[in-house]
C-alpha cells in the first residue's frame, strides 16, 4: 500500500472496510459525518450493508442485532450521539457480542459545539450505560494511528466478545495527514459458535442480556469481570517519549498528547528533563506504567482537552507518591504547545508539595488569569 | 375417499407445534399471548421456517417469548426490536426475521423504531400484541388505553383532556408508502383466531417473497390487569376494543394482492 494524504474520518472508514466490516449503521453528526458518507458510498459498491438510521438510538440497536450474527459491525458518532447510544452499549456489553464504536469527540456538555474535545473520556472509559462493564478504549493521536487502531479494534472486539472503542477527537477526524491504509482483508467465512444465524441442524441459539435470577446475573457479571481482568493483563498500550531520564512526566492522550509532545521537545531544548507518556489504551489504563514512572520521576503533569477526566486515573495510579499537576482546555479549545511549555516550566521550577488546594482548583485559577490576559 | 385411515385407529389431531418448546407457560390464565405465540409457531411449522427464522423478543410480558419458540432468538431493549430486526435482516436477507412486541413497547417507547422500519420497507414481520395496557409492570396506561379505562396510572380512568386519545397503530403505519401488509385481527373467539392465523401466514409469506414490511396487530386480553375474569376479558375485547380498533386490512400493497397464500 502507498502513503496517501488522507482525512481522518475517511481513513477510519476505509480502514474499517479493509478490516472486513460487513455492516455499518450510523447517523450524521459533525465532526464525524465524512465517516458516514464514506460508508454510504463504499459499502454498497462492495455489496455490504449501509443503513442511515433514524437516530443514534436506532443505529446502535441495528448494530446490536447485526452483532448478534457474529459478523463484523460498527457504528460511529460524536459526543451527543454517543450519549444516545449508551442504552444500546449496555445491552451489547451485557449480551457479550463484539462491536466497534468510533467516537469523534466534540465540545460539550449538551449540544456544545463541533470543535475538538476529549470530554467523553469518562463516559467511555468508566461506562456511561448502566451496570458493570468495561469497553476497550483506544485513543489515536494521528491519522495513521487512527487507521491502525481501527483495525486492531475489530480484532480485540472479537477476541474478547466486547465493545472496542476508537476514541478520537474532532481534530483527528477532520485533519489530513500522510498515512497508509492496510490491504483489503477477506470477509469472515466462519461465524462464531454463539452467533444467532437461523441455521438448520443444531439446537436453537439465544442471545440476551436478561438474567432474571440474581445468581445467574452475578455469574454473568463475574464472567465479564474475569474477561476484563485478562484484557487488563494483555491489552495495555502506550507510547513513551524522552522518558529515560525524565524528572517531569507529562501525561496526555490523543491530540492533547500530540500537542504536549511539541511542548516536551521545546522543554528538552531548554534543558528541562521532561518526558511524555501517551496512553493509547485508555481502557485498560496503563496504570502500572504510571506507577513505575511515579517511582523515578519528581512530578507529573496531566494535560487534557477536558476538565481532568483522565487526571483522576493518573492520581489513582500515582497513589500519592509524587505531586500530580493538571492543565486542561475546555469546550473545544485546543491548547497551544506554548501553554503546555509554560506549565512544564512552572512545575519544573519549584516545589508543588505544600501548595494549597486541589490541583484542579489551582489550574482553574491559572486558566482564568490566562483567559483574562487574552 | 375422504379419509384413508381406519375409523378405529387413534389419530393425533392436535399437538404442540414443533416451533414451540415444552416450557410451562408463565402467562396469566385467560391471557391470549399463548394463542398468538402458538399461531406464529404453527405458521413457522407449516412454512418450514423453524430452522431459518430469527425472532426478536421485546420488553413487556412477551420478554420471555424466546422461552417458548424453538427458534434462534435475540432479546431487544425496550421498543428497539424493529431496529435490531433491521440489523439482522440486512446481514442475513434470506433468513425469516420477526419481532413480537406489545403495545407499550411498539406504540410508546418504540414508536420511532417501528415507524422508520416501516418507512424503509424493511422486509421483516412484526407481530403486534395490543391489549391496551402495560402488562409486565402491573397495568399502567398505554398509548392504546381506551378513554375512561382504569389503569394503575390512570386510577380514575383515562382522562383524554390530559392524556389525549389512543393511537391506532395499524391505521398510522398504513399511511407509510413503503409498508406492504398491515392488518388488524382479534383473538377473542375461535373465528377471529382462525382469521388471525391466516393473516400471520400471509405476513410471513410477504416476507418470504421479499415484498416488504408486514405487521399483524392482534387485539388481545390482559384479564389480570384489567381486573376481569378470562371470559369478561374476551367480552371486553369484543364490546369495547373492537369499536375503537376496527378489524380490517389497512394496507395490502399491489404485490401482496397478487400473492397466492
> Do the chains contact at A64 and B96, CB–CB below 8 Å?
no
**Does the CA dihedral B18-B22-B23-B29 come out positive or negative?**
positive
Position A127 scores a pLDDT of: 83
Residue A292's domain spans which residues?
A: 239-373
For B148, residues 6+ apart whose C-beta sits below 8 A from its C-beta are B157, B158
Mean pLDDT, rounded, for A329-357:
88
CB contact under 8 A, B77 and A22: no
Peptide bond just before A296 cis, omega within 30 deg:
no
Say if B250 falls within a structural domain. yes
Please identify among residues 29-58 of chain B the ones whose CB lies closer than 8 Å to any CB of chain A: 51-54, 56-57
For residues A229 and A243, membership in a common domain is answered with no
| Residue A351: band (very low, low, confident or very high) from pLDDT cuts 50, 70, 90 | low
Q: Are residues A200 and A183 in the same domain?
A: yes
A53-72 pLDDT, tens digit per residue, is: 999 999 999 999 999 999 99
Q: Do A198 and B75 touch (CB under 8 A)?
A: no
Of the candidates B54, B63, B113, the beta carbon closest to that of A210 is on: B63
How close is the nearest chain A Cα to the Cα of B70, in Å? Answer: 6
A-chain CB neighbours of B112 within 8 Å are 54-55, 57-58
Asked whether residue B223 is assigned to any structural domain, the reply reads yes
Helices (H), B139-215: 160-163, 169-174, 190-208
Q: What is the C-alpha separation between B210 and A239, in angstroms, rounded?
A: 52
Q: A212, A234, A256: which is the final residue of a domain?
A: A234
Measuring CA to CA, which residue among A279, A250, A224 is closest to residue A337?
A250
The pLDDT-based confidence of A373 (bands split at 50, 70, 90) is confident
- Same structural domain for residues A176 and A315? no
Residue A295's CATH number:
3.40.50.920
Q: Domain check: are A137 and A269 in the same one?
A: no
Tell me the pLDDT of chain B averaged across its residues: 96
What angle is formed at CA B57 by the lines to CA B55 and CA B63, rounded to 5 degrees?
Answer: 150
- Range A240-279 burial, b when 16+ CB lie within 10 A, else e: ebbbeebebbbbbbbbbbbbbbebbbbbbeeebbbbbbbb
Cβ <8 Å between B77 and A67: no
Cis omega (within 30 of 0) for bond into A284: yes
User: CB of A26 within 8 Å of any CB in chain B?
Assistant: no
Q: Do A196 and B73 touch (CB under 8 A)?
A: yes
Interchain contact, A207 vs B95, CB within 8 Å:
no
State the total domains in chain A.
2
**Same domain for A172 and A278:** no
Number of domains comprising chain B:
1
A224-232, Cβ contacts within 8 angstroms, sequence gap of 24 or more: A224/A93, A224/A96, A224/A132, A224/A133, A224/A134, A225/A132, A227/A160, A227/A161, A227/A162, A228/A134, A228/A284, A230/A160, A231/A134, A231/A136, A231/A156, A231/A160, A231/A162, A231/A284, A232/A284
Cell numbers 436506532 correspond to what residue? A58
Judge whether residue A210 has pLDDT over 50: yes
The reply to whether A151 and A36 lie within a common domain is yes
Residues in A closer than 8 angstroms to B85, CB to CB, are 65
Does a structural domain hold residue B52?
yes
Q: What is the pTM of this model?
A: 0.96
How far apart, in whole angstroms, are the C-alpha atoms of residue A55 and residue B83?
10
Say which CATH number the domain at A215 has.
3.40.50.970
* Mean pLDDT computed over every residue of chain A: 96
Q: How far apart are CA A103 and CA B105, in angstroms?
A: 29
User: A114 and A162, same structural domain?
Assistant: yes
Domain boundary among A197, A215, A234: A234
Mean pLDDT for A146-175 is 98
Q: What is the mean pLDDT of residues B91-105?
A: 98
Nearest to B66 among A68, A73, A208 (CB): A208
- The reported pLDDT for the residue numbered A144 is 98
Does B165 contact chain A (CB < 8 Å)? no
- Determine contact: A229 vs chain B, CB below 8 A: no
> A164 with A264, same domain?
no
CB distance B54–A200 less than 8 Å? no
Q: What is the pLDDT of residue A14?
A: 98
Last residue in a domain, options A234, A265, A282: A234
Q: Is A85 exposed, middle or buried (0-12, 13-18, 19+ CB in 10 A)?
A: buried
Same domain for A54 and A192? Answer: yes
Confidence (pLDDT) at A21: 98
Touching check for A66 and chain B: CB below 8 Å?
Answer: yes
Same domain for A117 and A223, yes or no, is yes
pLDDT of residue B6: 60
Cell of B260: 397466492
Query: Which residues are A49's β-sheet partners?
Result: A23
DSSP, collapsed to helix, strand or coil, labels residue A240 as strand
* Interchain contact B122–A (C-beta under 8 A): no
The dihedral region occupied by A272, where left means phi > 0, alpha psi between -120 and 50, and beta the remainder, is beta
Percent share of chain B, pLDDT over 70: 97
Tens digit of pLDDT for each residue in B171-195? 999 999 999 999 999 999 999 999 9
CB nearest to A62's CB, from B52, B57, B83? B83
Residue B9 has a pLDDT of: 74
Cα(A219)–Cα(A296) distance, integer angstroms: 41
The average pLDDT across B221-250 equals 98
Q: What is the mean pLDDT of residues A289-302?
A: 97
For chain B, say whether A213 makes contact (Cβ under 8 Å). no
Q: Which three cell numbers stand for residue A154?
A: 475489530
- Percent of chain B scored above 90 by pLDDT? 93
Q: What is the pLDDT of residues A166-203, one digit of tens each?
A: 999 999 999 999 999 999 999 999 999 999 999 999 99
- Label residue B224 by pLDDT band (50, 70, 90): very high
Q: Is residue B164 part of a domain?
A: yes
| Percent of chain A whose pLDDT exceeds 90 | 96
Q: Which domain holds residue B62?
A: 33-256
Put simply, whether A75 touches B (Cβ < 8 Å) is: no
In this predicted structure, what is the pLDDT of residue A240? Answer: 98
Q: Residue B54 is nearest to which of A88, A198, A208, comparing CB atoms?
A: A198
Contacts of A71 in chain B (CB under 8 A): 91
- Band of the pLDDT at B1, cuts 50, 70, 90? very low
Q: Name which of B52, B66, B91 is nearest A49 (Cβ-Cβ).
A: B91
Pick from B72, B73, B95, B105 the residue to mutate for testing the A interface (most A CBs within 10 Å): B72
| Each residue's pLDDT tens digit, A83-131 | 999 999 999 999 999 999 999 999 999 999 999 999 999 999 998 899 9
CA distance B79 to chain A (A): 10
pLDDT digits (tens, 9 = 90+) for B46-74: 999 999 999 999 999 989 899 999 999 99
* Of A119, A153, A175, A28, nearest in space to A331 by CA: A119
| Greater model confidence, B5 or B90 | B90
pLDDT at A357 over 80: no
Average pLDDT (A146-157) is 98
**How far apart are the CA of B78 and the nearest CA of chain A, in angstroms?**
10
Same domain, A99 and A213: yes
Q: Decide if A65 and B52 are in contact by the 8 Å CB cutoff.
A: no
ipTM above 0.90, yes or no: yes
Give CA–CA dist A32/A76, Å, rounded.
7
Residues A44 and A110 in one domain: yes
For residue B198, the domain's CATH number is: 3.40.50.970
Q: Quick one: CA dihedral A127, A129, A130, A135, positive or negative?
A: negative
On chain A, the residues whose CB falls within 8 A of the CB of B57 are 208
Amino acid at each position: 500500500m502507498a502513503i496517501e494524504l488522507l482525512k481522518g474520518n475517511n481513513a477510519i472508514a476505509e480502514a474499517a472496510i479493509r478490516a472486513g466490516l460487513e455492516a455499518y449503521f450510523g447517523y450524521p453528526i459533525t465532526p464525524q459525518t465524512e465517516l458516514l458518507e464514506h460508508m454510504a458510498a463504499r459499502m454498497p459498491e462492495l455489496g455490504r450493508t449501509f443503513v442511515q438510521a433514524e437516530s443514534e438510538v436506532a443505529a446502535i440497536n441495528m448494530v446490536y442485532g447485526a452483532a448478534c450474527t457474529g459478523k463484523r459491525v460498527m457504528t460511529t458518532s460524536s459526543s451527543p450521539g454517543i450519549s444516545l447510544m449508551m442504552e444500546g452499549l449496555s445491552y451489547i456489553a451485557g449480551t457479550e457480542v463484539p462491536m466497534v464504536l468510533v467516537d469523534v469527540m466534540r465540545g460539550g456538555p449538551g449540544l456544545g459545539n463541533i470543535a475538538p474535545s476529549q470530554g467523553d473520556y469518562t463516559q467511555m472509559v468508566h461506562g456511561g450505560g448502566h451496570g458493570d462493564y468495561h469497553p476497550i478504549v483506544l485513543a489515536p493521536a494521528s491519522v495513521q494511528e487512527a487507521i491502525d487502531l481501527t483495525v486492531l479494534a475489530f480484532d480485540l472486539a472479537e477476541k474478547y466478545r466486547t465493545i472496542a472503542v476508537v476514541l478520537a477527537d474532532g481534530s483527528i477526524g477532520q485533519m489530513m495527514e500522510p498515512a497508509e491504509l492496510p490491504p483489503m482483508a477477506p470477509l469472515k467465512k466462519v461465524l462464531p459458535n454463539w452467533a444467532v444465524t437461523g441455521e438448520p441442524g443444531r439446537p436453537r441459539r439465544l442471545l440476551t442480556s436478561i438474567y432474571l435470577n440474581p445468581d445467574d446475573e452475578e455469574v454473568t457479571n463475574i464472567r465479564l469481570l474475569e474477561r476484563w481482568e485478562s484484557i487488563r493483563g494483555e491489552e495495555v498500550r502506550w507510547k513513551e517519549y524522552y522518558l529515560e531520564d525524565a524528572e517531569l512526566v507529562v501525561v496526555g492522550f490523543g491530540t492533547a498528547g500530540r500537542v504536549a509532545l511539541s511542548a516536551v521537545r521545546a522543554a528538552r531544548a531548554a534543558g528541562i528533563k521532561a518526558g511524555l507518556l501517551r496512553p493509547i489504551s485508555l481502557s485498560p489504563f496503563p496504570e502500572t506504567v504510571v506507577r513505575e514512572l511515579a517511582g523515578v520521576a519528581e512530578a507529573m503533569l496531566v494535560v487534557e482537552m477536558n476538565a481532568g477526566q483522565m487526571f483522576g486515573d493518573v492520581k489513582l495510579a500515582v497513589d500519592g507518591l509524587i505531586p500530580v499537576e493538571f492543565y486542561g482546555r475546555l469546550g473545544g479549545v485546543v491548547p497551544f504547545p506554548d501553554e503546555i511549555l509554560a506549565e512544564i516550566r512552572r512545575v519544573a521550577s519549584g516545589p508543588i508539595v505544600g501548595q494549597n488546594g486541589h490541583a484542579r482548583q489551582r489550574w482553574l485559577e491559572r486558566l482564568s488569569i490566562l483567559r483574562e490576559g487574552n | 375417499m375422504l379419509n384413508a385411515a381406519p375409523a378405529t385407529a387413534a389419530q393425533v389431531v392436535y399437538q404442540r407445534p414443533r416451533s414451540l418448546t415444552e416450557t410451562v407457560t408463565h402467562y396469566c390464565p385467560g391471557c391470549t399471548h399463548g394463542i398468538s405465540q402458538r399461531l406464529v409457531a404453527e405458521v413457522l411449522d407449516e412454512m418450514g421456517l423453524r430452522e431459518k427464522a430469527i425472532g426478536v423478543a421485546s420488553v413487556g410480558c412477551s420478554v420471555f417469548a424466546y422461552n417458548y419458540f424453538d427458534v434462534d432468538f435475540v432479546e431487544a431493549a425496550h421498543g428497539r426490536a424493529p431496529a435490531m430486526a433491521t440489523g439482522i435482516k440486512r446481514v442475513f436477507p434470506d433468513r425469516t426475521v420477526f419481532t413480537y412486541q406489545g403495545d407499550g413497547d411498539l406504540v410508546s417507547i418504540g414508536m420511532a423504531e417501528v415507524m422508520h422500519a416501516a418507512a424503509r420497507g424493511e422486509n421483516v414481520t412484526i407481530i403486534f400484541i395490543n391489549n391496551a395496557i402495560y402488562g409486565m409492570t402491573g397495568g399502567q396506561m398505554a398509548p392504546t388505553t381506551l378513554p375512561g379505562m382504569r389503569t394503575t396510572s390512570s386510577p380514575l380512568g383515562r382522562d383524554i383532556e390530559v392524556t389525549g386519545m389512543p393511537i391506532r397503530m395499524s391505521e398510522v403505519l398504513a399511511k407509510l408508502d413503503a409498508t406492504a401488509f398491515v392488518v388488524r385481527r382479534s383473538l377473542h373467539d375461535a373465528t377471529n383466531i382462525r382469521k388471525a392465523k391466516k393473516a400471520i401466514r400471509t405476513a410471513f409469506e410477504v416476507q418470504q417473497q421479499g415484498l416488504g414490511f408486514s405487521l399483524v396487530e392482534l387485539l388481545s386480553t390482559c384479564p389480570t390487569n384489567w381486573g376481569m375474569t378470562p371470559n369478561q376479558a374476551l367480552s371486553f375485547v369484543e364490546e369495547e376494543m373492537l369499536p375503537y380498533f376496527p378489524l380490517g386490512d389497512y394496507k395490502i400493497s399491489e404485490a401482496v394482492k397478487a400473492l397466492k397464500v
